[in-house]
Amino acid sequence: MLFLTLRDDPADAEIPSHKLLLRAGYIRRIGSGVYAYLPLMWRVLQKVSQIVREEMNAAGAQECLLPQLQPADLWKESGRWDTYTKAEGIMFSLKDRRDQEQALGPTHEEVITTIARDMIRSYRQLPQLLYQIQTKFRDEIRPRFGLMRGREFIMKDAYSFNVDEESLEKTYQDMHIAYSNILRRSGLAFRDVQADSGAIGGSASQEFMVLAEAGEDEVLYTKDGQYAANVEKAVSLPPDAQPSAFTNYEKRETPGTETIEKVCEFLKCSSTQLVKNVLYETIFDNGTSVLVLVSIRGDQEVNDVKLQNELTKLAPKYDAKTVIKLAVPDTEAQAKWASKPLPLGYIAPDVADDYIKSVKNIAPGFLRLVDKTATDLKNFVTGANESGYHVVGANWGEQVKLPEFAVDVRKARPGDRAKHNPEQTLESARGIEVGHIFQLGTKYSIAMGATFTNEQGEEKPLLMGCYGVGVSRLAQAAVEQSYDKDGIIWPVAIAPYHAIITIPNINDAQQVEIAEKLYTQLNQAGVETLLDDRNERAGVKFKDADLIGIPYRIVTGRAIANGKVEVVERKSRKSHEIAIADVVSTLNQWIQSVNSEQRSQ
Ligand code: ATP
Ligand code: MG
């Protein structure tokens, strides 16, 4: 076996699971976000894939394999070519020798929709549910943490086609159950949370999060178990605003108070009584740049994901379809469109449009949005549109015009009261997103003309859902959730091998003979077993066995004099002396009981 473990932590690995997989010889870095899955890792990935496959098949899904090389035309039809090559820039694209643009599949909605368009004609063929397990390519901005965020990774993606919302909801629920089963059977502690649908589009979506400190996502949840959401999507009740002390409208000189903190200190008021105005610049897919002014209560923050979703909804106002970029413009960016220096830190919701000079591709006025936290304020403080001045005691519709679009773009925070029950407060946890299920609706079928004839003989767009599991990310997430100072502790169901036989001294013929015999018997009986017959010190071999995290270690040591071997459970470190003749049946029984426990939980 090509087996090599490292004593020290590799320099470029930051989180425990990444370090351990490298050290234990599971993976090897080939390039940024690109890894070789070595034999041990491949076995783990096959196990995870098999669990996924079994659960998908049980839900009636059909396995297929779609092309990774995808013609740009399909992506242009769906309208995602620009978003994926420019906005998120996450898709690898290339030109072939005929000068045709191609992409390496980051996801397969376009491919599957074109197949459905060709093959599905009638409601009689519906519903359909297809899936594949395959390598995906994404040119991630920050590939990191090993398999967690790769540029090449393994995903199971499934797509459903349904006649109506009700049927889609049913498939979505089936997938929810399948995903819960997959994670439970893989031995993971997880949580399903409400999620943002992002660039994939569509309405309802949920993510499956493996709870771990190293997770890149923040989950907000309530202790009563009634609410859990990705922070990108989460909602809550904001703290109540303090009543305002300013009953008269007045302009005040407030020198050097560009920040909320400073102005509150200067005016001796609460940040909940202040309307702050955050400037963004967004670029739409048609190249139009729009200056966006978001008015929000002083103590609250803007959630960029929610804001981007609102801007996408407003895109048609600018003859555009989607947002390509959203950023807070720095001085350099401002120089491109500002006709005069902006009163930064003192901007009011009604700052004049003539700060924007007339430039091609820049919308002439501000797009003004107001968060619901700000619309309720009375006698508030805000900027005076003049450096060094604020106004106090202002009211909407009196001194300050209410921005045109009222939206919810506020970031929910830990400690906020929950909407479903104000007595519950939001708690925060870190999670690794291993699965995501979406109700896509008709976004792709309408864009690409995938229709069917319903029972009444009418032509209707197909309703779609899509369902992804990060197979390689899930495998690493399992390590992130289960390790100790000595190494990995694989859940039995996805461990590369169930058992490892360690021969303490390979010069002892009896030890070797018993080990080899057990090795054959165990493998024949379906207990996947590795034999460590290297000519190394026993201590080295024990260390390696711990590091690679095989659930059961069998040692043909001193106990063989009494016809026994030592069996050590990796997780609990419990050691048992078991008669040689009983090893196969005992291990088989242990493995089965762990697996069935996980299945039935
Ligand atoms: P993320 O927010 O982490 O980038 P995503 O929302 O882009 O994920 P989806 O497009 O829903 O992910 O993909 C389905 C699943 O594929 C994810 O739930 C995740 O488990 C996995 N996945 C996505 N991107 C990567 C990646 N770069 N490396 C490894 N796995 C990934
Ligand atoms: Mg992503």
pLDDT single digits (tens) 322-338: 888 999 999 888 989 99
Q: Given a cut of 80, is residue 499 above it in pLDDT?
A: yes
- Going from N- to C-terminal start, the domains of the chain cover 45-235+427-475, 250-407, 497-600
Beta bridge partners of 575: 568
Question: Which pLDDT value is given to residue 120?
Answer: 98
Q: Domain 497-600 - what CATH class?
A: alpha beta
Are 169 and 205 contacting, i.e. CB atoms less than 8 angstroms apart? no
pLDDT higher at 87 or 493: 493
Buried/exposed 514-533: b ≥16 CB within 10 Å, e otherwise: bbeebbeebbeeebbbbbbe
Does residue 495 sit in helix, strand or coil?
A: coil
Q: Convert the pLDDT of each residue in 108-132 to its tens digit.
A: 999 999 999 999 999 999 999 999 9
Q: Given a cut of 90, is residue 596 above it in pLDDT?
A: no
Tell me which residue has its CA closest to atom 22 in ligand 1.
Answer: 470
299 lines ligand 1 (CB under 6 A): no
Tell me which residue has its CA closest to atom 12 in ligand 1.
Answer: 436
Q: Given a cut of 70, is residue 202 above it in pLDDT?
A: no
Give the Cα separation of 137 and 70 in Å (integer).
12
Question: Which pLDDT value is given to residue 285?
Answer: 86
Tell me which residue has its CA closest to atom 3 in ligand 1.
Answer: 433
Phi, psi (degrees; rounded to nearest 5) at 113: -70, -35
Q: Given a cut of 70, is residue 278 above it in pLDDT?
A: yes
**Range in 136-145, 151-160, 321-330, 470-479 the model is least confident about:** 321-330
475 lines ligand 1 (CB under 6 A): no
Question: Which pLDDT value is given to residue 196?
Answer: 87
Architecture of domain 45-235+427-475: 2-Layer Sandwich (3.30)
DSSP letter at 422? Answer: T
Question: Which pLDDT value is given to residue 324?
Answer: 86
153 lines ligand 1 (CB under 6 A): yes
DSSP string, 551-562: SEEEE-SGGGGG
Give the Cα separation of 514 and 494 in Å (integer).
27
192 lines ligand 1 (CB under 6 A): no
For residue 207, the ligand 1 atom closest to its alpha carbon is 18
Q: How confident is the model at residue 147 (pLDDT cuts 50, 70, 90)?
A: very high
Please count the other Cβ atoms lying within 10 Å of the Cβ belonging to residue 329. 19
Q: How confident is the model at residue 598 (pLDDT cuts 50, 70, 90)?
A: confident
Q: How confident is the model at residue 321 (pLDDT cuts 50, 70, 90)?
A: confident
Say yes or no: do domains 250-407 and 497-600 share a fold: no
155 lines ligand 1 (CB under 6 A): yes
Residue 150 Cα to ligand 2 middle (Å) = 10
Tell me which residue has its CA closest to atom 31 in ligand 1.
Answer: 470
Q: Convert the pLDDT of each residue in 397-430 to its tens digit.
A: 999 999 999 999 999 999 999 999 999 999 999 9
Q: Is 382 exposed, middle or buried (0-12, 13-18, 19+ CB in 10 A)?
A: buried
Ligand nearest to the CA of 143: 1
Residue 87 Cα to ligand 2 middle (Å) = 13
Please provide the average confidence, as pLDDT, over all residues in the chain: 95
For residue 151, the ligand 1 atom closest to its alpha carbon is 27
Which structure tokens are listed for 560? 């063989």
Question: Which pLDDT value is given to residue 601?
Answer: 62
434 lines ligand 1 (CB under 6 A): yes
Q: Global pTM?
A: 0.91
Residue 275 Cα to ligand 1 middle (Å) = 37
Task: Out of 194, 231, 436, give the residue to mutate to test ligand 1, the one with the largest number of ligand atoms within 8 Å of its CB.
Answer: 436
Residue 277 Cα to ligand 1 middle (Å) = 33
468 lines ligand 1 (CB under 6 A): yes
Residue 18 Cα to ligand 1 middle (Å) = 17
For residue 106, the ligand 1 atom closest to its alpha carbon is 10
Residue 405 Cα to ligand 1 middle (Å) = 32
Q: How confident is the model at residue 319 (pLDDT cuts 50, 70, 90)?
A: very high
Tell me which residue has its CA closest to atom 13 in ligand 1.
Answer: 468
Residue 432 Cα to ligand 2 middle (Å) = 12
Q: Convert the pLDDT of each residue in 440-497 to its tens digit.
A: 999 999 999 999 999 999 999 999 999 999 999 999 999 999 999 999 999 999 999 9
Across 168-191, average pLDDT = 96
Residue 149 Cα to ligand 2 middle (Å) = 8
Q: Given a cut of 60, is residue 200 above it in pLDDT?
A: no
Q: Convert the pLDDT of each residue in 31-70 to its tens digit.
A: 999 999 999 999 999 999 999 999 999 999 999 999 999 9
DSSP letter at 406? Answer: E
Ligand nearest to the CA of 436: 1
Tell me which residue has its CA closest to atom 11 in ligand 1.
Answer: 436
Comparing CA positions, the residue from 480, 463, 532 lying closest to residue 502 is 532
Which structure tokens are listed for 92? 């690898």
Which structure tokens are listed for 216? 């890149």
Task: Out of 45, 133, 155, give the residue to mutate to test ligand 1, the one with the largest number of ligand atoms within 8 Å of its CB.
Answer: 155
Ligand nearest to the CA of 201: 1
Angle between helical axes of 165-185 and 583-600 (0-180°, round to 10) = 150
Q: Given a cut of 80, is residue 198 above it in pLDDT?
A: no
Q: Convert the pLDDT of each residue in 336-360 to its tens digit.
A: 999 999 999 999 999 999 999 999 9
Tell me which residue has its CA closest to atom 18 in ligand 1.
Answer: 435
Fold of 250-407: YbaK protein (3.90.960)
Strands 380-383 and 275-284, sheet pairing: unpaired
Residue 106 identity: P
